[in-house]
Structure 1
Amino acid sequence: MDIAVTTPTGNVGRHVVATLVRAGIRPRVLARDPGRLDPGIRDAVRAVPVDQYDADAVVAATRGADALFWVDPTTGGEDPLADYARATQSVVRAVAENGIRRVVFQSSVGAEKRHGAGEIDGLAHTETALDELGADVTHLRCGYFFTNLELQLDALRAGTLQVILPLDQPMAWVAPRDIAEVAATRLLSPAWSGRCVRAVHGPADLTWRQVAEILTAATGRRIGVERVTDDAMRTLLRRAGMTEGLVEAVLGMSTGLREDFVPEQRRTAATTTPTTLAAWAYDHLRHRIDEQVS
Structure 2
Amino acid sequence: MIVVTTPTGRIGRQVLDTLLDGPEAIRVITRDPARLSPHVRERVEVVPGSHHDSDVVTTAFAGVDCVFWLVPPNPRAEHPVDYYLEFTRPACEAITRHGVRRVVGVSSLGREYGHHAGHLSAAFAMDALIEATQVGYRALRPPFFLENLLSQAQMIRNQGVFALANSRDRPLRTVAARDIAATAAALLLDASWSGQDGVPLIGPDDLSPDNMAQVMSEVLDRPVRFQQISTAEYKAMALTRGASEGSAQGLVDMAMAQNDGIYNGGSPAPERTATSFHQWCVNVLRPAVLA
Kindly provide the amino acid, as one letter, of the partner of residue 27 in structure 1. Answer: I
Aligned to 1:284: 284
Kindly provide the amino acid, as one letter, of the partner of residue 209 in structure 1. Answer: D
The 1:114/1:29 distance shift into structure 2, 3 A limit, reads farther
The alignment's TM-score, normalised by the length of structure 2, stands at 0.93
The 1:197/1:248 distance shift into structure 2, 3 A limit, reads same
The alignment's TM-score, normalised by the length of structure 1, stands at 0.92
Give the drift of 1:191: 3.3
- Runs of 4+ aligned structure 1 residues displaced above 3 Å come to 111-115
Aligned to 1:102: 102
User: Which deviations, in whole Å up to 9, do the C-alpha atoms of 1:175-209 show, x marking residues without a partner?
Assistant: 11111111111112133210111101122222111
Kindly provide the amino acid, as one letter, of the partner of residue 201 in structure 2. Answer: V
Distance 2:167 2:33 in 1: 41
Aligned to 1:4: 3
Aligned length: 288
Give the CA RMSD over aligned residues.
1.6
The 1:91/1:201 distance shift into structure 2, 3 A limit, reads same
Aligned to 1:129: 129
Kindly provide the amino acid, as one letter, of the partner of residue 101 in structure 1. Answer: R
User: Which deviations, in whole Å up to 9, do the C-alpha atoms of 1:224-264 show, x marking residues without a partner?
Assistant: 00211111112211221211111101111111232153333
Distance 2:170 2:22 in 1: 39
Kindly provide the amino acid, as one letter, of the partner of residue 263 in structure 1. Answer: G
Aligned to 1:263: 265
Distance 2:211 2:38 in 1: 38
Q: Which one is further off, 179-188 or 168-177?
A: 168-177
Aligned-pair identity (%): 31
Aligned to 1:42: 41
Aligned to 1:236: 237
Aligned to 2:193: 192
Distance 1:206 1:39 in 2: 40
- Structure 2 unaligned residues grouped into runs of 5+: none
The 1:151/1:135 distance shift into structure 2, 3 A limit, reads same
Aligned to 1:213: 214
Kindly provide the amino acid, as one letter, of the partner of residue 123 in structure 2. Answer: L
Confirm or deny: 8 A CA contact 2:80 2:118 kept in the other structure.
Answer: no
Confirm or deny: 8 A CA contact 2:201 2:270 kept in the other structure.
Answer: no
Kindly provide the amino acid, as one letter, of the partner of residue 273 in structure 1. Answer: T
Aligned to 2:250: 249
Distance 1:79 1:93 in 2: 22
